[in-house]
Structure 1
Amino acid sequence: MPIAEYPSVTPPQVRVVAFMPGASAETVKEVIGNPIEEEVNGVDGMVYMQSRSTNDGRYFLNITFENGVDSDMAMVNVSNRVAVAENMLPFEVRARGIRIRKAAPDDLLAIAFYSKSGSMTELEMNSWVEANFMERIARIPGLATSDLIGATYGMRVWLDMDRMASLGVSTVEVKNAIREQNAVVPAGRIGQGPSRENSALQFNLITEGRLSTAQEFEQIIVRTLVDGTHVYLGDIADLEIGSQFYDAYATYNGGAAALVAMQANPDANALETGAAVKAVLEDISSILPADMEYAIPYDTTQSVEASIRSIVQTLFIAVLLVIAVTYLFLGNVRATLAPVVAIPVSLIGTFAFMQMGGFSINTVTLFGLILAIGIVVDNAILVVENVERILNENPKWDAKQSTIQAMKEVTGPIIASTLVMLAVFIPVAMLPGITGLMFAQFSITICIALVLSAINALTLSPALCAW
């Protein structure tokens, strides 16, 4: 079962993320936002959507759905709508891809990679984390998103506008030249049939595709002049390896760092997901650069563990107190056995129904179980006390006869008292809004325990008394 601090009351959300390098917020809104929003608007189960465009070319769209809508199906529906709008988007946006994912309401973990002596730059750390850590955690079940805050290496092209003007070169030509000549394309084969001469050998032609150094980028041909000479990118620009962007960075303890923020799926087990991430950290600790270390400055799993641990301790204390009080008033171990058995039977059965209902183990459901512990023994105590009374009044009767007579007398009251308790807690599950969502699991958990305790009092408890 999923383990969380509180029940999930956040309506399902799907996020669409796109990127257009160099575009302003207004341009992003016009060329990316409008086509996508026109198609996504009205998707099944949608309540509203919010979009945000930034001056660094990024576009974010959050679509919020009604509570109860399946989040996986919502993501599929949004993906189908976005696919229709893709043909209307610029090539730069389609080439970089559009990310569609379930939005997580809260961060799960934040991990900072930092240099102990400061010898590593932010770019070096970001690039190492991107290559060695991000791919590994992407395969962890239950992890919705993982974002590296900061940029990795990129080729910076500083254009000389005066030189470009003298040669009549436009920025569009520069962009097209970089895109066309910095690409991997198939070059073909030599000796592949059919051919005029029978060749026993075939050779794959391999050409240099993706460029990686500033010197290679400088040799990109931007234009060929009338006299046959070439205008190279290095003639009109200065090139250097730098950062993809400079508007986001992370620090840890005052120094540069690579920060990774992670969010878990709403239906995931937060503790298991967090443990899987920490296991990956342990695995890569042996290959960390000599001057790099990591820290976890933000970890929600610790509060979840502490909260669940405290509630579980309270649960065990409640069980012990109920057993002690029951024994104190019934006076013997055998009579105490029947009410005590009702506790594990009701709790185990409740957990089974909680799993079938998609509930999580959280503070609300555990509080409901703590409250139910003192209630589930009442019906069993009623059966035991009535059997004890009949045995005392009729010394010649055996335990079986006394139990049959006792059940004739208390079956109705047990059913009636259970229905009364259900009438108290069921309306709580029907409260509207966030309050109803928060306490629905609390109410239903108690109701399940009550029903199981009544079944136990009408079946197992009499069998124990007659034994």
Structure 2
Amino acid sequence: QGNPIFIKDVAKVVEGPVQNQRLVWHAQANDQSASEHPAVTIAITKKPGENAVDVSDRVLEQLNSLKSSLIPKDIEIAVARNYGETANEKANKLIQKLIFATLSVVALIFFPLGRREAVIVGSAVVLTLAATLFASWAWGFTINRVSLFALIFSIGILVDDAIVVVENIHRHQLLFPHKSLREIIPGAVDEVGGPTILATLTVIAALLPMAFISGLMGPYMSPIPINSSMGMLLSLAIAFMITPWMARIWLAPHSEQQKNHFNLALWISPKFKKIFNPLLSDQTGKRNRRLLGIGVIGAILISLALPVTGLVVLKMLPFDNKSEFQVILDMPPNTRVEKTSDVLKEMGAALAKVPEVSSYQIYAGTAAPINFNGLVRQYYFRQSPALGDIQVNLVDKHHR
């Protein structure tokens, strides 16, 4: 009596492992089933300005070389996410779209104006894109998905200046067939110079405020207005300096120009008359114009109603057919990490039955390596035994 009782007097005390605060599992889906294995995730981030494709290739090469020396044979290495590969795929796709957009513009000029005018416009577009990429590099931007998107976004505006100049030179050739190109070009360019400059500055004024977005989205959004604005200014300079010079050298003589114009006019004119005659008729023109105006207003109202009704979803970024997604789990407070892990495993077993799922990683008590979505939503704060998520990887989009 009166003596203290120690734990060693009533139990055997040994030093054991620290209670788990976080658990990570990896599972490779196979035949609609999967077995989880304990895992350690290593996230590798490139330095600013480095090529993500080259970095990922070198990392994979280094991993393969370590398999036979440093990494034991019973340790399996799996690449959960390779953003270098996806970045390369998306960049190539954007380049293809950029080429397609340029060729489409050239084709649209070829049919109404002729092959020489199309070559001039195409050359102006190529020069503008090259100069814009150089200016973007000088500004400090890299060629990535955002900067390429900015070029595609502004491709319709970049070609406008050259098209306006070439089309007006073409028109002056038809109006003044007795004059030479040397006499026609200055007046034709001067005639459209003021409106073209004003239109370009108006579009720049609409886009440039995006460059002053602050916070997390600032660095992500700034290449779009800056690259687009630089491209439009360079396009304006090329349209006023290079395009007239190319027109002076390459445009066809008056007789050939006149011949091409009238052949095309004979084909197009009847179709335009069918469209516009009902609107210009003395008897029914007023009524038809009124109906057209009502139809345009109705179409505008319908388009404005689409987001309100939910038929069109307004988003800052477009939907993307990605090969990954996350499942976020919030358990009741004070839930042990083992319980969170068990629930995540049950969810993973259900996901493994989906044929399009190739693998998944379970993170209980901690967050998965941060991606762009997690960065925006601040998932790195999800550090609690009651929180978890599953990083689900799908087969390639061409196979699903």
User: TM-score scaled to structure 2, two decimals?
Assistant: 0.50
1:293-332 paired onto structure 2 within 5 Å: 293-330=76-113, 332=114
For residues 404-454 of structure 1, the C-alpha deviation after alignment (integer angstroms, 9 at most, x for no partner) is 232232333332222222222222223444454433211111101100100
1:15-414 paired onto structure 2 within 5 Å: 251-253=25-27, 254-257=36-39, 259-287=41-69, 289-330=72-113, 332-414=114-196
Which one-letter code corresponds to 2:135 in the other structure?
Answer: F
Separation (CA, whole Å) in 2 of partners of 1:257 and 1:351: 43
User: What's the offset of the Cα at 1:281?
Assistant: 2.0
For residues 259-312 of structure 1, the C-alpha deviation after alignment (integer angstroms, 9 at most, x for no partner) is 433233344332222121012123334445444442212333343334333323
Separation (CA, whole Å) in 1 of partners of 2:234 and 2:135: 10
Separation (CA, whole Å) in 2 of partners of 1:446 and 1:357: 13
The structure in which a higher percent of residues are strand is 1
Q: Is 1:270–1:301's contact at 8 Å kept on the other side of the alignment?
A: yes
Give the superposed CA RMSD. 3.1
User: What's the offset of the Cα at 1:375?
Assistant: 1.2
Q: Is 1:428–1:439's contact at 8 Å kept on the other side of the alignment?
A: yes
Q: Is 1:342–1:376's contact at 8 Å kept on the other side of the alignment?
A: no
Aligned-partner SS, 1:297? coil
Separation (CA, whole Å) in 2 of partners of 1:333 and 1:325: 10
Which one-letter code corresponds to 1:311 in the other structure?
Answer: L
The aligned counterpart of 2:239 is: 457
For residues 82-124 of structure 1, the C-alpha deviation after alignment (integer angstroms, 9 at most, x for no partner) is xxxxxxxxxxxxxxxxxxxxxxxxxxxxxxxxxxxxxxxxxxx
Could you tell me which of 226, 229, 246 is aligned with 1:447? 229
Distance 1:298 1:417, change over 3 A: closer
The aligned counterpart of 1:98 is: none
Which one-letter code corresponds to 1:396 in the other structure?
Answer: H
Q: Is 2:125–2:158's contact at 8 Å kept on the other side of the alignment?
A: yes
Query: Which structure has the larger Rg?
Result: 1
Distance 1:391 1:261, change over 3 A: closer
User: What's the offset of the Cα at 1:345?
Assistant: 1.1
Aligned-partner SS, 2:78? strand
Aligned-partner SS, 1:252? strand
Q: Is 1:311–1:363's contact at 8 Å kept on the other side of the alignment?
A: yes
Separation (CA, whole Å) in 1 of partners of 2:65 and 2:88: 23
Q: Is 2:55–2:84's contact at 8 Å kept on the other side of the alignment?
A: no
Separation (CA, whole Å) in 2 of partners of 1:433 and 1:251: 34
For residues 200-226 of structure 1, the C-alpha deviation after alignment (integer angstroms, 9 at most, x for no partner) is xxxxxxxxxxxxxxxxxxxxxxxxxxx
Q: Is 2:109–2:117's contact at 8 Å kept on the other side of the alignment?
A: no
Q: Which moved more, 1:275-284 or 1:300-309?
A: 300-309
Separation (CA, whole Å) in 2 of partners of 1:261 and 1:394: 68
For residues 308-352 of structure 1, the C-alpha deviation after alignment (integer angstroms, 9 at most, x for no partner) is 33323322221222121121221x111111111121111111111
Which has the bigger relative contact order, CA under 8 A and spacing at least 6? 2
What are the ranges of 5 or more consecutive residues in structure 2 without an aligned counterpart? Answer: 1-7, 9-13, 28-35, 250-400
User: What's the offset of the Cα at 1:397?
Assistant: 1.9
**Identity in percent:** 28
Which one-letter code corresponds to 2:202 in the other structure?
Answer: V
Q: Is 1:429–1:441's contact at 8 Å kept on the other side of the alignment?
A: yes
Could you tell me which of 412, 430, 448 is aligned with 2:212? 430
Aligned-partner SS, 1:421? helix
Q: Is 1:368–1:446's contact at 8 Å kept on the other side of the alignment?
A: yes
User: TM-score scaled to structure 1, two decimals?
Assistant: 0.44
Aligned-partner SS, 1:339? helix
Distance 1:364 1:395, change over 3 A: same
Separation (CA, whole Å) in 1 of partners of 2:240 and 2:100: 27
What are the ranges of 5 or more consecutive residues in structure 1 without an aligned counterpart? Answer: 1-161, 163-237
User: What's the offset of the Cα at 1:400?
Assistant: 2.0
Distance 1:401 1:437, change over 3 A: same
Which one-letter code corresponds to 1:394 in the other structure?
Answer: F
Separation (CA, whole Å) in 1 of partners of 2:153 and 2:85: 25
Task: Give the paired residue count.
Answer: 229
